[in-house]
């Protein structure tokens, strides 16, 4: 595989359209009400396709996105499930099934996790069948807070300024989570921070342990951007994704490649999101 030519690009501004929001209840007896509130602003039925930049009409959504309304249900072990995503209220953890996608060390990565039918599959380490909207709902139900801190404030003409929004420290902390990855290595289940699978193309060291920042994507023309693009967790800044990498080097898309420990393409893995602890 040939290494794609990449360029340093400025962080885009955060779009002005309102993002979906949810008010968290103290009891999961109100989960249905919370879900309906989220679905009203980010329902896959209102944005059923995962679009491509070349020809959006030629990218039909998977059956889960076309036919199924998101439904939160309680499992026997006390966890909750929405679509293919499982979450635990007490631990505030979220589990997402995925597969390895780009595994060649000569390919730069811009995305950590995208929908398998999304726009950025060719730049992503992992792909999943889980719907982006369902991940967003799970994060809201577990009281993670959206923070636009990584995206420059837009000027009047829509171009990015040199300023970033002021975000209270309490929101910044509530927006952060860690991501672990679990897979089987010769029949033995292993779990590592996902940063251990991302290698610096210059130093050959893995990414330092870091939080990922929940920004929540946005709604434009009554469409939830993350659902349209399939972008869920990104390394290079993307306000349309659900969460972003906050490193100081995030504007450079010629740094991170798959690490040597990443198993072959198509390997089943699980991502686990948990509150960030320094």
Q: Which residue has the higher pLDDT, 242 or 35?
A: 242
What percentage of the chain reaches a pLDDT higher than 70? Answer: 75
237, 212 in Cβ contact below 8 A?
A: no
Report the distance separating Cα 35 and Cα 32, nearest Å: 5
Instruction: Quote the mean pLDDT of the chain.
Output: 83
pLDDT of residue 69 exceeding 80, the answer is no
What DSSP string runs through 1-67? Answer: -PPPP----PPPBPPSSPPP--PPPSSGGGHHHHHHHHHHHH-TTTS-----SS-GGG-PPPHHHHH
Q: What is the pLDDT of residue 240?
A: 97
pLDDT of residue 4: 46
Q: How confident is the model over 219-240, as a mean pLDDT?
A: 96
pTM comes to 0.78
pLDDT band at 38 (very low <50, low <70, confident <90, very high): very low
**48 or 72, greater pLDDT:** 72
Cβ(179)–Cβ(207) under 8 Å? no
Residue 249 corresponds to which tokens in the numbers above? 């080097």
- Measured in whole angstroms, the distance separating CA 3 from the mean position of its chain's CA atoms is 24
Question: Where are the domains positioned within the chain?
Answer: 28-275
- Give dist(CA 122, CA 141) in Å, integer: 31
Q: Per-residue pLDDT for 31 more than 60?
A: no
Write out the two tokens for 218. 């946005």
- For 156-205, write each residue's pLDDT tens digit: 998 889 899 999 999 999 999 999 999 999 999 999 999 999 999 999 99
The pLDDT value recorded for residue 22 is 37
Give the per-residue pLDDT at 160.
Answer: 85
């Amino acid at each position: 595989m040939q290494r794609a030519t990449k360029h340093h690009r400025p962080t885009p501004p955060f779009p002005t359209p309102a993002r979906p929001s949810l008010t968290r209840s103290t009891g999961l007896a109100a989960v249905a009400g919370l879900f309906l509130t989220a679905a009203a602003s980010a329902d896959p039925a209102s944005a059923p396709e995962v679009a491509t930049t070349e020809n959006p009409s030629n990218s039909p959504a998977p059956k889960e996105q076309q036919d199924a309304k998101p439904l939160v249900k309680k499992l026997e072990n006390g966890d909750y499930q929405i679509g293919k995503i499982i979450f635990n209220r007490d631990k505030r953890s979220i589990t997402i099934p995925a597969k390895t996608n780009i595994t060649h060390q000569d390919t730069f990565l811009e995305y950590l996790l995208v929908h398998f039918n999304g726009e950025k599959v060719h730049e992503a380490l992992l792909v999943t069948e889980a719907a982006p909207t369902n991940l967003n709902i799970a994060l809201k139900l577990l009281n993670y807070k959206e923070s636009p801190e990584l995206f420059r404030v837009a000027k009047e003409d829509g171009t990015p300024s040199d300023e970033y929004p002021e975000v209270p420290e309490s929101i910044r902390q509530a927006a952060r989570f860690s991501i672990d990855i679990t897979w089987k290595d010769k029949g033995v289940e292993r779990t590592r921070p996902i940063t251990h699978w991302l290698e610096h193309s210059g130093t050959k060291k893995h990414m330092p342990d870091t939080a990922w920042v929940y920004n929540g994507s946005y709604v434009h023309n009554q469409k939830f951007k993350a659902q349209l693009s399939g972008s869920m967790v990104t390394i290079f800044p993307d306000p349309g994704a659900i969460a972003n990498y906050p490193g100081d080097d995030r504007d450079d898309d010629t740094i991170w490649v798959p690490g040597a420990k990443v198993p072959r393409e198509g390997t089943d893995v699980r991502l686990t999101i948990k509150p960030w602890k320094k």
